Amino acid sequence: MKLYEIAAFLGCNEIQDSIEITGMNTLKNAVEGEISFLSDSKYEKELSETKASAVILPASKAHLLPEGVVVLNSDEPYMYVALLSKHFAKPIQSSDLPPVIGEGTRVYPTAHIENGARIGANCTIMSGVYIGAEAVIGDNVILYPNVSVYRDCVIGNRVMIHAGTVIGSDGFGYAHTKMGEHIKLYQNGKVIIEDDVEIGANTTVDCAVFGSTIIKQGVKIDNLVQIGHNCVVGEHSIIVSQSGLAGSTTLGRNVVMGGQSATAGHLSIAPFTTLAARSGVTKSIVNKGIYSGFPLMEHKLWLRMQAKLAKMLES
């Protein structure tokens, strides 16, 4: 879309710039030809270095942008982004090219592979599997029955995904009107799963709003796990059943999450950290260790607290 078309759609009719806008992105990752936004003051430091051609933000923050970046003023930038995101959402089917299937790959009769998808050699694609447009599957991959891989997702080599798991479904993102209505923020990114990953049954890995949700090499994920949009799961991490990562959580390598543990969004967890079962993480963990409970604390302290509580109940 031309920038003046976007401005007219959003009600910023004073903008007449004819720059071609090809997509939306974060302030940090945007490049020339993309539009970005600021809805949270903690990202203000990224304004001065953004390469975006235009930014949606409150007028009071416009002076922080580099010279030449076009400003679209809004007191509700997140709402504007949600409204605009629909216009950059890709169609479910977008290619006339037939899928490419590598040598030695077996595709069961009821699997469905969209045009433009590419599947490597010696894979097994079982009954009911769906592989979306432009998805890329590596070599020696096993997709068990009813696995869904949405469009544009990338799966590496020697990956095993068990029945009913969904890769690349929309992250849970909505802007809210003053009347309490919910406006969908279209999730236009993808999921990247690196080599030697195994994912259990009925797990969901959401696609990114922009960019990629990334599951790094050697990660092992149990059944019934939720990975939110734009998360990064570090190499060789283990996530046990019924755990959940809220959006934009980053795990370092070899993090272990016990059953029913969970994190709030937009935080990071140090490499080689262990979270005991039912742990609740609300702040970033800088120092590796073993943690338990909610509010979260060091596991040794949690054990002492439980022992004291037991004694109090006995008295």
Q: Are 120 and 139 in contact (CB under 8 A)?
A: yes
Strand partners, 273: none
Sequence-ordered alpha helix ranges (H) in the chain: 3-10, 77-85, 299-314
Residues identified as active-site: 229
What helix, strand, coil percent values describe the chain, rounded to 5? 15, 30, 55
Peptide bond into 109 cis (omega under 30): no
Residue reference for tokens 């998360």: 231
| Cα–Cα distance for residue pair 286/72, rounded to 1 Å | 37
The residue type found at 50 is: T
Backbone angles phi, psi at 7, to 5 degrees: -60, -40
Burial of 131 per CB tally in 10 Å (0-12, 13-18, 19+): buried
DSSP class of 48 = G
> Which residues, at least 6 apart from 265, have a Cβ–Cβ distance to it below 8 Å?
228, 246, 247, 248, 249
DSSP 117-156: -EE-SS-EE-TT-EE-TT-EE-SS-EE-TT-EE-TT-EE-
Query: Three-class SS string for 260-275?
Result: CCEECCCCEECCCCEE
